[in-house]
Amino acid sequence: MIDETTVALVADASRAHLFRVEVATGTWTPLETFDHPGAGRHTLEADRFAKHVAAELARSYDRQVFRRLIVVAPAEFIGMLRPELPKRVAQAVVGERTQDLASLRGDELSERIPVPHE
């Protein structure tokens, strides 16, 4: 993969979807989905899920799946996720959106979320 590969994490407290984002075309291609059904109702479980998602992002970054990351999630989940991100992954974040859009498909997301071009 090239250095400027962009992915978007679209998550809430119980599910997270990772998409490859083609900046030139605006196409969002699903890469991975992580589910943690009990996390939506329990803060401790949501925190565990945030740690799991951060670890998965770190693995993907280390495998050079991406170099730029967009995070789309409710503010509470972003607050849980941020401190769990390793520094290298946190530095790859080029955009953040505090919205709960985890139930949308890639084509719906591409219409609603602007992708940074730099």
Which CATH number do you get for residue 27? 3.30.420.60
Q: What confidence score (pLDDT) does residue 57 get?
A: 98
Res. 117 pLDDT band, cuts 50 70 90: low
Residue 113: inside a domain: no
- Whether 66 is in a domain gets the answer yes
Q: How many domains does the chain have?
A: 1
pTM (whole model) above 0.85: yes
Residue 89 maps to a domain: yes
In a domain, 70, yes or no: yes
pLDDT of residue 2: 43
In a domain, 25, yes or no: yes
With H, G, I as helix, E, B as strand and everything else as coil, classify residue 112.
Answer: helix
Say if residue 1's pLDDT is above 50.
no
CB 23 within 8 A of CB 95: no
Residue 115 has pLDDT above 80, yes or no: no
pLDDT of the residue at 41: 66
Query: What integer is the mean pLDDT of 6-26?
Result: 92
How far apart are the C-alpha atoms of 67 and 6, rounded to whole Å? 6
Range of the domain at 99: 6-107
Domain membership of residue 114 (yes or no) is no
Residues sharing a CB contact under 8 Å with residue 117, sequence separation 6 or more, in sequence order: 23
pLDDT score for 105: 86
In a domain, 117, yes or no: no
> Mean pLDDT over all residues of the chain?
90
